Amino acid sequence: MNQEVITHIVNEFNTPIYIYDGEKIEHQYKLLKSCLPKHFEVFYSVKANPLLGVCQLFKKLGSQIEVASLAELQTAFQAGFTPDQIIFTSPGKTIEELETSIDRQIYSINVESLEEAILINHIGQKKGRQVPISVRINPDFNLSGAGLRMTGVPTQFGIDQSQLEEALGTIQSLPYLKLIGLHIYTGSQMLAASLIIKNMEEIIKLAITVSETYAFPLQFLDLGGGFGIPYFTGEQYLDMDELGKGLQTVWETYAHKLEGTRIGVESGRFLMAESGLFVTKVLYVKESKGTKYVVCDGGSNHHASSAFLGRHIRNNFPMHVHSQEEQDELTEVTVVGSLCTPTDVIGQKVKLGKVDSGDYIVVEKSGAYGLTHSPVLFLSHQLPAEVLYKQGQVHVLRERGSVEDFFKGQKLLSTHEELLQRT
């Protein structure tokens, strides 16, 4: 996606805006598939970017899908996924979400607690239907080296390995549950192939041990994911050749134990992050006590990940001034949005070329956990448009929001006279 394309899109749809490169999405999906053993399936993690058009593209590419809410479940169906291609993972599923998943007969509900399993059994009993589930385990090990660890520590995700005997004993006694598999997700944003390989080997070994110990056929094994992409200075791309060779060796070692088992990996960030650009227009350039500020029309309310909201340590996404040739002279600036809070910083002390009002700042690697991860209601700015560029065509995935959107569902207080009339 070249500079001219970006200029055309910005001129037509204004800013702030998310632009996704459909060719890059396809490339990342095929790259990941190419390094996995042939038997493995990819489940797109909708939470990374839940746009209907994005999910539709992954369906066309041959992906399965992993959802974590009722809206994501409905998105999966609208995008064309069939029940056998859908798994539901979340530590806090509501009764409505569970009932809909059961009614639509999705492939697996990944259970995160014994209490959830008991609730699913109760719903299954009411509906007269046995429900396929996979148990998510929080193992004692964590070899991931992940930026965000999700196992081996206290967590809301899954059932602790030390509690498996009691939990599986109860689950296997519940007549309306069909235990078909196990799910282990150890961490996110892993960049070392050797650690991913070792981690997945340990997951496979644990899954085989659990299925043999508790005497149930392992129909499904969700290995999680965590495939990372480099955002920051000093980070290296994941070595896909090493990953592919290592995973194939692991698979050849344990394939005889997993004959007939459906193997899945989840991915969102790896598939989507590098496809996306967040483009925001410079409104003002000012100085304050020695710091140069670039004030833009889009900020942390639209791109919380770039602002590192909620993080104790921040870094900067790669960014540049649009349509600007590479310059020798760079100036240190802080890029901010238009919110009335000092946390609205999407680039702190970044080095940019000459920047003026009317220029555009492009935040790279913004395809995953962008708008979907952001506090869009803060200050009630309109939602940015989201578009996808593929094979020379621009597809609008989400129209730009309007001021009227923020009044949908709201009600004025009733006056005293109106309350009297109702009585």
Joined together, the tokens standing for residue 360 give 């555009």
- Catalogue the active-site residues: 340
Q: Do strands 276-288 and 262-267 pair parallel, antiparallel, or not at all (unpaired)?
A: unpaired
Q: What sign has the CA pseudo-torsion 305, 333, 19, 380?
A: positive
CB neighbour list of residue 212: distance below 8 Å, 6 or more residues apart? none
Q: How far is it, in rounded angstroms, from Cα 3 to Cα 348?
A: 25
Q: How far is it, in rounded angstroms, from Cα 136 to Cα 182?
A: 6
Q: How far is it, in rounded angstroms, from Cα 374 to Cα 186?
A: 24
For residue 221, give the nearest of 231, 207, 234, 210 by alpha carbon. Answer: 207
Q: What's the per-residue H, E or C state across the chain?
A: CCHHHHHHHHHHHCCCEEEEEHHHHHHHHHHHHHCCCCCEEEEEEHHHCCCHHHHHHHHHHCCEEEECCHHHHHHHHHCCCCHHHEEEECCCCCHHHHHHHHHCCCCEEEECCHHHHHHHHHHHHHHCCCEEEEEEEECCCCCCCCCEECCCCCCCCCEEHHHHHHHHHHHHHCCCEEEEEEECCCEECECCHHHHHHHHHHHHHHHHHHHHHCCCCCCEEECCCCECCCCCCCCCCCCHHHHHHHHHHHHHHHHHHCCCCEEEEEECHHHHHHHEEEEEEEEEEEEECCEEEEEECCCCCCCHHHHCCCCCCCCCCCEEECCCCCCCCCEEEEEECCCCCCCCEEEEEEEECCCCCCCEEEECCCCCCCHHHCCCCHHHCCCCEEEEEECCEEEEEECCCCHHHHHCCCCCCCCHHHHHHHC
